[in-house]
Amino acid sequence: MSSKCGWWKIQLLVLSVTYHICIQDRSVEALSPLHQPNPNSKIQVPTKSLHEQVNRRSVLGTIVSFATGIASTGSIQEALAEPPLKLPLLQSNSSDDSTTTLSAASSKRTNSRTPTFDAYYITPDESNVRSKLDKIDSQQFLQQMASVKNKSGGAVWLGEHHNSAADHDFQATFIREVHKHRQKHFSQKSNGGSNMMAIGLEQVQQEFQPILDAYIDGKISLDRMRFMVQWDKRWTWSFENYQSIFETAKQLRIPLLALNVDSEDLSIVEKEGYPGLPKERLRKYIKDPRGFSEFALEPDFQSYVDYVIQPSYELHQRMGLLRYTMAGERMEEEMTFRRFLSGRILWDEGMASGAFSWCAKNPGGLLIGLVGADHVKFKNGIPGRFSRMASKENLLDCKSVVINPTLIDSRPSGSVASIPTSDLAEYPERITLQLRYVKSSSVNPETGLALERKEGVLPFSDYVVLT
């Protein structure tokens, strides 16, 4: 790791979480009137609003779109200069949708698209430089995804590119096909039907869970749901690309699960670290503080931070985004790597924890997580954390899939952008399929020379899919 954040600092960081949650005695802050339930409404709509300054996610999205030829340099400057779209708050018991500020395109329904795809299985190889990449039949792949190793259930994580319509078309198809396989192989009596599946969403923050429930129950429309979860302000990626996923979930009556950390809480951590967030709110995302700390002390996590998170921080730094929290609040000083790392691993831990809680409450169920590829690749984002939570009882299955991976996805941020075709997903054999790390090593105390060095590998993912 670079000198910007020594590994000992990360150890102190994660150990401080255990102290903050398990030991430190802090009073419970009283809820403000804005957070009190509305007795006249069955659907509780959180009324917290984001700071109307630079939206970091929106800027990054614009940069990605520019890199793929979708946007112009002018639009990047606009994203940096203009505040995010202001949406008036909507009272949940109002039947008037006229105040909703939505894109005109939201009323247009795209035609159903059923993409064909190729699936590959990655076999890690500690004795070789590269993992083994084997193509498997698409129907065999779907059957493997639909099944779980035992009756306890598990999760499949689909790593997406948020701006890719092709990725989201595949996700909708995947959900329909997996649902079909499960309905065929499990009777209504034995597994509860479609209620034993759920779709986990990075795209929606946890405070909006009641809105997703209302949509699946048919109490609100798709456009209403989009507005009430503040999609255009908190997520910003094209809603139309995700539309078929939401429509499929409602048609098949598959519950939607809000996984993302609330922006306001993430912003506090980015500004003040974990001590700044009341421990009751921190426990919402970190329910296993000791496991959370121990996970970050593993040698493979150190390599993961060096390869995945540190370069991401440096990219944010070059783009001038480290003076803004994820909620858009401007800070007096640039965010340190320690704060950036704190926010990132809170994000991953919170999503893994939400998924694990659902699986624990629904034995035999399958959760399909729709999250960014960065949260899936090289294990130690969400999948490794989910597996850690499930490992105590060795119950839940966990599979990871990256959709349409490119060379850029598998290398440190900004390192291969100039290589021709580095942004194309047509060459799976070119991507970095495994990340090597030092499991253990011993040194001769007299000479200082290494006596023994054992290495391990982190696979890019369990599977990759090309559409």
Can you tell me the distance from the alpha carbon of 369 to that of 386, in angstroms, rounded to the nearest whole number? Answer: 11
Can you tell me the distance from the alpha carbon of 409 to that of 430, in angstroms, rounded to the nearest whole number? Answer: 11
**The pLDDT value given to residue 270:** 95
pLDDT band at 4 (very low <50, low <70, confident <90, very high): very low
**The pLDDT value given to residue 129:** 77
Can you tell me the distance from the alpha carbon of 158 to that of 339, in angstroms, rounded to the nearest whole number? Answer: 27
Above 90 in pLDDT, residue 377?
Answer: yes
* DSSP strand pairing (154-160 vs 366-372): parallel
Q: Which of 88-97, 136-145, 204-213, 368-377 has the lowest mean pLDDT?
A: 88-97
pLDDT in tens, 173-227: 999 999 999 988 775 445 444 458 999 999 999 999 999 999 999 999 999 999 9
Report the pLDDT averaged over residues 137-151.
86
**The pLDDT value given to residue 204:** 98
* DSSP strand pairing (463-466 vs 118-123): antiparallel
Look up residue 141 and give its two tokens: 């792949």
Classify burial at 325, counting beta carbons within 10 Å of its beta carbon; exposed 0-12, middle 13-18, buried 19 or more: buried
pLDDT band at 103 (very low <50, low <70, confident <90, very high): very low
DSSP conformation class of 69: T
Domain boundaries, the chain: 7-22+50-85+114-467
Above 60 in pLDDT, residue 276?
Answer: yes
Above 60 in pLDDT, residue 43?
Answer: no
In order, the DSSP letters of 325-344 are -TT--B-SSPPPHHHHHHHH
**The pLDDT value given to residue 193:** 42
Above 50 in pLDDT, residue 419?
Answer: yes
Can you name the CATH fold of 7-22+50-85+114-467?
Rossmann fold (3.40.50)
User: In terms of pLDDT, which residue wins out, 453 or 222?
Assistant: 222
**The pLDDT value given to residue 445:** 72
pTM: 0.79
Q: What's the chain's average pLDDT? A: 79
Report the pLDDT averaged over residues 245-253.
97
**The pLDDT value given to residue 447:** 73
* DSSP strand pairing (132-136 vs 118-123): antiparallel
Range list of H helices, 186-330: 188-191, 209-216, 222-228, 231-234, 239-252, 263-272, 279-285, 289-296, 299-304, 310-318
Can you tell me the distance from the alpha carbon of 370 to that of 352, in angstroms, rounded to the nearest whole number? Answer: 12
Look up residue 241 and give its two tokens: 């690309």
Report the pLDDT averaged over residues 148-171.
91
Q: Which of 100-109, 184-193, 342-351, 458-467 has the lowest mean pLDDT?
A: 100-109
